[in-house]
Chains A and B, each alone.
Chain A
Amino acid sequence: MQELVRTIKYEADRVPGFGKEIMQVPGCENLQSCIQCGTCSGMCPLSIYMDYTPRQIIELVRSDFKNEVLKSYTIWLCASCYVCTVECPREVPITDIMYELKQRAIYEGYYPKRFQIPVLANQFFKMVYKHGRVTENFLVTEMLLKSNWKDIFRSWKLGLKLLARGRFPLKTENVEKKEEVRKMLDVVDRVSIDTLAGISHTGNGKKH
Chain B
Amino acid sequence: MKYAYYPGCSIKGTGRAYEESLLPVLKALDVEFEEIDDWNCCGATAYMAVDEIKSCVLASRNLALAEKGGYSEMMAPCSACYLVLNKAQRYIETSGPVADTVKKALGAINLKITKKIKVRHPLDILLNDVGLDRIKQKVKRPLTGLKVATYYGCQIVRPYSTFDDQYNPTSMDKLIKALGATVVNFPLKTRCCGGSLTGTLPEPGLLCAYILLKEAMKRGADVISTACSLCQFNLDGYQDKIAKKWEPVQVPALYFTQLMGLAFGFSEEEMGLHRCIVPFSLENVLNKEAVAS
Contacts and interface: CB of A to CB of B under 8 A. Distances in A.
Residue from the set B45, B203, B208 with the largest chain A CB neighbour count within 10 Å? B45
Interface in A164-208: 165-169, 173, 175-177, 180-181, 183-185, 187-188, 191-193, 196-197, 204-205, 208
Residue from the set B45, B51, B159, B237 with the largest chain A CB neighbour count within 10 Å? B51
B158 A83 contact: yes
Contacts, number: 202
B154 A83 contact: yes
Contact of A116 (B104, B105, B154, B201): B201
A183 B109 contact: yes
Interface in B134-179: 154-155, 158-159, 166-167
A43 B194 CA distance: 14
Contacts of A204: 51-53
B12 interface: yes
A166 B61 contact: no
Contacts of A208: 50-51
Contact of A193 (B44, B97, B274): B97
A49 B97 contact: no
Interface in B43-66: 43-54, 57-58, 61
A167 B13 CA distance: 6
B240 to A, nearest CB: 8
Interface of B: 9-10, 12-17, 38-41, 43-54, 57-58, 61, 95, 97-98, 100-101, 104-106, 108-109, 154-155, 158-159, 166-167, 190-192, 194-197, 199-201, 203-205, 208, 211, 237-238, 240-241, 274-277
Contacts of A86: 158-159, 166-167
B61 A181 contact: yes
A158 interface: yes
B208 A45 contact: yes
A184 B159 contact: no
A94 to B, nearest CB: 10
Contacts of A121: 46-47, 49-50
A124 B47 contact: yes
A205 B40 contact: no
A122 interface: yes
A27 B276 CA distance: 40
Contacts of B47: 121, 124-125, 128
Contacts of B17: 167
Residue from the set A135, A187, A205 with the largest chain B CB neighbour count within 10 Å? A187
B9 A136 contact: yes
B49 A128 contact: no
Contact of A103 (B52, B58, B159): B52
A81 B200 contact: no
